[in-house]
Amino acid sequence: MLGSGFIGRFYADSIQGYRSQDKIVSIYSRREESASKFAKDYNVPFYTIDMEAAIARPEVDMVCISLPNNLHEAAVMLCCKHKKAVIITKPLGRNAAEAARMVNAVEAAGIFNGYLEDLVYTPKFIKAQESVRNGALGRILWAKSRETHPGPHSEWFWDIEQAGGGCILDLGCHCIEITRSYIGKDILPVEVMCWADTQVKPIDAEDHAIGLVKYENGAIGQFEVSWTFRGGLDLRDEVMGTEGTIWINSFLRTGFDMFTTGNGGDYIAEKAESNTGWLFPVGDDLNELGYNHMFMDMFNAMEKNEKPKETFYDGYVVNSIIDACYRSMKSKLWEPVKLDIWRGKTGVSKDSHLVEYDKDHYLVKEEMTHYGAKKTIVKHKQTGKISEIESK
């Protein structure tokens, strides 16, 4: 484990607690006291402030990178040097150029690589995506994801040089991969329109943003992200298709409501702002945030010599979309997504959306009225005239 902070401890709880067969054997931290404390808390036999020493140990099969964004590339290159399988927290890089170098390096080294995008492993997402893949929603037209909260835990997130960006990079990477997964990861993202601003925090990066990602097949991905939202962690997805809709509320409304005066109050849920009044606890943070399913996929894939659901390549695509977001934020225009590495489909036009009613008409809408009559609206194929057919 590289990194002994907030996310490293979340990862450790899942790694050593879910499959009950995986052990952290080496911990690196930038601060010795933090490394020592982590080693004690998780029964790790070796700790160090020398990153390469942690990676190079012979008992290490896989390296988990849970470090600040500006340290990702150096850590990945050491994994390549020592031929260690590597999994990395999001975002892959601070920008697409960094991400591309990491993709090329792990593939040239021939090592297993996984991208730890936990929110595409949540139980609700897995179930929803299965429904989408099975055609329950028909052709996906629009997918929206929202992540907002009062801001990240560690100081480096607020430093644009270390982090590489603000809430778009921190939270938008989640939302972009969620919506991309619903639309289809093999569908080319074409261009982006993004608004972002620094509304509250005294920082150089954006703390609030809204973006649209247009895909080659005509689908739209939408994200809403903020470090200024008050009230806790809000995770929501919406997916709309020609045959249906999915709404998911993953965290802020959990189906578990509790009122307390605060006497004897304790941890409620990640980024909860209070432990008094009406609260919305989470039954199992690790499971609800996708960590358990994510690490199971990573470890099982490595053991079977297969690719996991999320690889460094996926992280690169997300970084490329985010780069376009930052260009759009400045230009106030639609900006193209620049992908030097693309392994999906190309030349995909909008799927045919015209449904034939009969040989002369396309169907516009069909419904049953409140008074029992069936109403059908059609469009003539040749003249374009819209007409209505009503029958008992």
Q: Is the pLDDT of residue 268 over 90?
A: no
Distance CA 323, CA 317 (A): 10
Q: Where are the domains of the chain?
A: 6-90, 120-286+311-336, 355-391
Residue 57 pLDDT grade (very low, low, confident, very high; cuts 50, 70, 90): very high
Residue 391 pLDDT grade (very low, low, confident, very high; cuts 50, 70, 90): low
Q: What is the pLDDT of residue 251?
A: 84
Q: What is the pLDDT of residue 253?
A: 78
Q: What is the pLDDT of residue 266?
A: 67
Higher pLDDT, 333 or 281: 333
Q: Is 109:336 a contact under the CB 8 Å cutoff?
A: no
Nearest Cα neighbor of 119 from 312, 309, 344, 319 is 309
Q: Is the pLDDT of residue 291 over 90?
A: yes
CATH code of the domain made up of 6-90:
3.40.50.720
Residue 271 pLDDT grade (very low, low, confident, very high; cuts 50, 70, 90): low
Q: What is the pLDDT of residue 297?
A: 97
Mean of all residue pLDDT scores within the chain: 94
What's the rounded mean pLDDT across residues 315-324?
Answer: 98
What's the rounded mean pLDDT across residues 80-85?
Answer: 98
* Percent of the chain at pLDDT exceeding 70: 97
Alpha helices in the chain (DSSP H): 6-15, 32-41, 51-56, 72-81, 96-109, 123-133, 160-163, 167, 173-183, 285-288, 291-303, 312-331
Can you name the CATH fold of 120-286+311-336?
A: Dihydrodipicolinate Reductase; domain 2 (3.30.360)
Nearest Cα neighbor of 318 from 69, 40, 16 is 69
Task: Give pLDDT tens digits for 229-266.
Answer: 998 899 999 999 999 999 999 888 777 888 888 776 66
Q: What is the pLDDT of residue 270?
A: 67
Task: Give pLDDT tens digits for 140-199.
Answer: 999 999 999 999 989 999 999 999 999 999 999 999 999 999 999 999 999 999 999 999
What letters, b where the CB count within 10 A reaches 16 and e where it falls short, cover 211-231? bbbbbbbbbbbbbbbbbbbee
